[in-house]
Amino acid sequence: MKLHQNLALGIVSCLNDILKQKKALRPSLNQLLKHNRKWGSRDRRLVGESVLEIIRWKRLFTEIGKLNPKSNQYYWNLLGIWMLKKKIPLQDWEYFSEIKTESIEFEFNRKSKARAILQSIPDWLDDLGLKTLGKTVWEKEIENLNNKAPLVLRVNTFKTSPEKLQNILKKKYDIESSRIPEFPAALFLDKHKKLNHLELFKQGWFEIQDANSQKVSYFAAPKPGMLVVDGCAGSGGKTLHLANLMHNKGRIIALDPNKKKLEQLKARIKRNGVRVVTVHDLDSEDIFRKYKENTDLVLIDVPCSGLGVLRRNPAAKWHMNPSYIEELIRLQQLILKKQSLLVKRGGALVYSTCSIFSNENENQIQKFLKSSVGKSFRLEKEKTLLTHNSMGDGFYMARLIRD
């Protein structure tokens, strides 16, 4: 195997965007691939794999290669370590001049290295994991968070059934998948495949959605005919699932401050054949006046650290830090208090994050329940899903009832 220079330049440019400029991982990678349409499928897979693995194992690769993170060649050096690990020969390029192959230790004594180095995470994250989950659970969880995430589909029951989609994927595209009773609308693919070019996807037969993310909508327990607010809808994965569970009966108001994501949601609504969703800017105070204490169910999948989905987005551990998480915690409380005002008596407020740490989860709910706004709510149930003992990403969810 050989890595051509134009691919290497693209990889290093993408690493710079994500690690130095702190741009989002998936959009940065998609932008790179979009600008290089002439790359073949094999090259595109190689670029995607290298970017994800280098970001995931940045700290470990730095230790293995005795690299200097302050070097101007740091991202080239990381690429070089990845290539050597994959047994891809280094080209005689000046970019790799700092790499000393004789000092690289792929097989060092693991017992002599700290867990944070071996699992390639910041020290503060290791401390948080130990404090929150304890040594035994944290070691299992962080090891799993460094694994590759499975590819999971959520079948759009307005268009087809899981059985029918599974059979068509196998017969027409030779794509193998499995079903698990715990996830009624999910197909677990045996291998990662590009799917958004398939006509079935374009016709809205399925969406790509993590298994535990799907659990949030079941946990929310919407019913046909309800008035529902998805208060942090984003591009709408859970919004669309709620519509499925409501059988396209009732009304869902999807709110988000990001106009680009709302445009994506509008396109997905049309593709999925959803009729009950209306999309609004989160800053629209008319919504909060009109539907105050009038909503059956409010779901808020709040902005969070994303530290439960490191399998899919390893960049989160390098983008986050304790002070930024404190800012998020303050924002989460503001969202909880504001959106809870929409819930009618007897209605439900569902709070969820893709974090596994109590400072964004249980602690937030307890703080809210003690607040002047939260005193009219009671906690019905809550659940934390960890990657090492479930079929999906790390999530937390709590369901509160307004008395």
| E strand map for 109-225 | 152-155, 177-178, 186-189, 206-208
Pick from 208, 262, 206, 210: which is nearest to 232 by CA? 262
- Tally of CA atoms within 13 A in the half-sphere of 98 that contains its CB: 19
| C-alpha separations of 99 from 38, 51, 94, 120, 190 in Å | 30, 19, 10, 20, 37
In the chain, the amino acid numbered 63 is E
Helices (H), strands (E): how many in the chain?
A: 17, 11
Strand duo 295-301 + 206-208: pairing = unpaired
Placement of tokens 């690299």 in the chain: 67
Whole-number Å distance between alpha carbons of 301 and 393: 14
Phi-psi region of 104 (alpha: psi -120 to 50; beta: other; left: phi over 0): beta
Residues 275 and 293 sit within 8 Å (Cβ to Cβ): no
Long-range contacts of 159-166 (CB under 8 A, 24+ apart): 159/203, 159/204, 159/205, 159/272, 159/273, 160/205, 160/206, 162/186, 162/187, 165/200, 165/205, 165/206
Known catalytic residue: 354? yes
Whole-number Å distance between alpha carbons of 120 and 115: 8
- Looking at 14, 232, 304, 354, which residue is catalytic? 354
Q: Catalytic site residues? A: 354
